[in-house]
Chain A
Amino acid sequence: MTTDVEAPTPPKKDEERPESFLSLFLRNLWSANTVTVTALSILLALVIGAVLMVVSDSTVLSKFSYFTARPSDALTASWDLISAAYADLFRGAIFDPAAVQAWFDGTGTWQAAFNPISETLTYAAPLVFTGLAVAIAFRGGLFNIGGQGQAVIGCVTSAVAGFAFGLPPVINLVVALLFGILGGALWGFVPGLLKARTGAHEVITTIMLNYTATLFLSWLILQKGVQDPNRTDAISKTVDASAQLPAMPSPLRVHLGIVLAVLAVIGISWLINRSAFGFELRAVGVNPPAARTAGMSVARTYTLLMVVSGALAGLGGAVQVLGTADKLTPQVAGNIGFDGLLVALLGRNKPWGTLFAAILYGALRAGGNLMQADVGISLELVTVVQALIVIFIAAPALIKAIFQLRAARSARLGTSMAKGW
Chain B
Amino acid sequence: MIPLALALLPSKPRRTLAYTGLGCRHDTKPQAGCTMGLFGGKDDKKNKPKPDFSNVQSGSSSTAPGPAASAGRTYVVQKGDSLSKIAKREYGNANDWPKIFEANRDIIKDPDLIHPGQTLKIPSA
- Co-complex (A, B): no
Residues of B within 8 A of A (CB): none
Residues of A within 8 A of B (CB): none
